[in-house]
Amino acid sequence: MEQFLKFFLGIFFALFVLNPFTLKSQNEYVSGFSTSNLSFDFSSVETIVLSPNKIVENATVFWENDSAYILAKHWHNATKVPISMKKWTKKIQKLSNKTDQERRQSATMQIVDVLKKEEQNFVQQAIPHIASFLPPQTPPVNTKIFITAYTNPWAFAVKGFSVISITDKHYHQNAEFILNLMIHEFFHVGYAKNAQLWKETALKDDDKSRLIIQLHNEGIATYVAYTAQNLYSAKGFEPDFKMFENQEIIAKKIQNVNDIFKKANENSNAISDLSWKVGIMQRAYYVAGAFMAKTIDEKLGRKKLAETIENGPRSFVATYNLIAENDKKIIELVD
Ligand SMILES: [Zn+2]
């Protein structure tokens, strides 16, 4: 009987989550993204943890053939962060010194087990949640989240795929936090699909354009993951969320974004370095951008927030400024 009930509740829940009418009443529209196809790929982390000896023998072959590491190379190229091969090899070497049993029973493989069990639930719940933030024009994606270990960033999205490095100390070996972060990364995949369709006139300078794209993309991604905590909580783990809940820190991060944008409008040289250091590493784009997304979502509605993804990043700043308090407005970038 209990089995039957569980089965029935499972079916009910799946129908509830997938029912387009439910989505429609929540969001007034259904994004094409809702019909996306997503799966987890564990091949990278399993090769690393279960056969590190083979990688140590020929690291170059691994970097050239492993799907997650091919994407990691793209990340290094895009961000210009150099690959520290020596540091990386040391980690794999350390792993290869452990016994088979130790590696099989490691915390990393335990997280892999949890993620495998959760994969179907994640697909069923994360897609409609993310789709509720995306405009109706967003096409469905056919994509994977690659689960790996020991890449430089703890997570990233490039070329329409997401990569999560589950050994990173950022996660404190917490599988639920990892799942929450997957929602952030998977949002980037949907955002990128819209970037090809933006309606607004882009800034002529690509470097300047990148600054508002990052504010827009990282800000909404942070807010999408923050609002997904009823599915996967990151409470006590995600430093961005802690900052996002602190009004003084939000004000400071808005000031940081304005410092970057003011210099960009003055055509300062070192702008890319400042943007990387303050906007990305010190999280100004994430925290200020999430606050902007929340403000638009709560005061103007989800549809207006999704429209900024349809129109482009300049409209995100302009829409936010319409309703922002005077001391929290964001400087608009100009050519
Ligand atoms: Zn991100």
Task: Report which DSSP code applies to 52.
Answer: H
Query: How many CB atoms sit inside 10 A of residue 99's CB?
Result: 8
Is 213 found in the same domain as 100? no
Measured in angstroms, how far is the CA atom of residue 171 from the centroid of ligand 1? 15
Is 191 found in the same domain as 53? yes
Residue 177, domain member (yes or no)? yes
- pLDDT tens digits for range 23-36: 444 445 678 899 99
Is 265 found in the same domain as 236? yes
Is 55 found in the same domain as 159? yes
Measured in angstroms, how far is the CA atom of residue 140 from the centroid of ligand 1? 20
* Residues that place a CB less than 5 A from ion ligand 1: 218, 221
- pLDDT tens digits for range 102-133: 999 999 999 999 999 999 999 999 999 999 99
> What is the rounded distance in angstroms from the CA atom of residue 28 to the CA atom of residue 30?
7
Is 142 found in the same domain as 70? yes
* Structural domain for 13, as ranges: 1-26
**Which of 151, 172, 195 is the last residue before a domain boundary?**
195
Is 268 found in the same domain as 144? no
Contacts of 57-66 spanning 24+ positions with Cβ under 8 A = 59/85, 59/88, 59/89, 59/92, 66/148
Query: How many CB atoms sit inside 10 A of residue 6's CB?
Result: 10
Tens of pLDDT along the chain (335 residues) come to 344 334 433 433 333 333 333 444 444 567 889 999 999 999 999 999 999 999 999 999 999 999 999 999 999 999 999 999 999 999 999 999 999 999 999 999 999 999 999 999 999 999 999 999 999 999 999 999 999 999 999 999 999 999 999 999 999 999 999 999 999 999 999 999 999 899 999 999 998 999 999 999 999 999 999 999 999 999 999 999 999 999 999 999 999 999 999 999 998 788 989 999 999 999 999 999 999 999 999 999 999 999 999 999 999 999 999 999 999 999 999 98
Residue 333, domain member (yes or no)? no
Residue 334, domain member (yes or no)? no
Residue 45, helix vs strand vs coil: helix
Is 164 found in the same domain as 56? yes
Residue 201, domain member (yes or no)? no
Q: Which of 52, 47, 38 is nearest to 68 (CA)?
A: 47
> What is the rounded distance in angstroms from the CA atom of residue 245 to the CA atom of residue 287?
9
Measured in angstroms, how far is the CA atom of residue 214 from the centroid of ligand 1? 8
Type of residue numbered 253: K
The CB-side HSE value for 131 (13 A sphere, CA atoms) comes to 30
Measured in angstroms, how far is the CA atom of residue 244 from the centroid of ligand 1? 15
Is 219 found in the same domain as 184? no
Query: How many CB atoms sit inside 10 A of residue 161's CB?
Result: 22
Which run of H or of E encompasses 135? none
Is 240 found in the same domain as 132? no
Is 80 found in the same domain as 62? yes
CA-based R_g, the chain, Å: 21
Residue 313, domain member (yes or no)? yes
Is 313 found in the same domain as 259? yes
Measured in angstroms, how far is the CA atom of residue 221 from the centroid of ligand 1? 6
Measured in angstroms, how far is the CA atom of residue 97 from the centroid of ligand 1? 34
> What is the rounded distance in angstroms from the CA atom of residue 123 to the CA atom of residue 40?
9
Residue 335, domain member (yes or no)? no
Burial level of 163, CB count in 10 A (0-12/13-18/19+)?
Answer: buried
Measured in angstroms, how far is the CA atom of residue 217 from the centroid of ligand 1? 7
Measured in angstroms, how far is the CA atom of residue 286 from the centroid of ligand 1? 8
The structure's pTM equals 0.89
Residue 315, domain member (yes or no)? yes
Q: Are residues 305 and 289 in contact, defined by beta-carbon separation less than 8 angstroms?
A: no
Is 45 found in the same domain as 180? yes
* 64, two tokens: 């050239």
Q: How many domains does the chain have?
A: 3
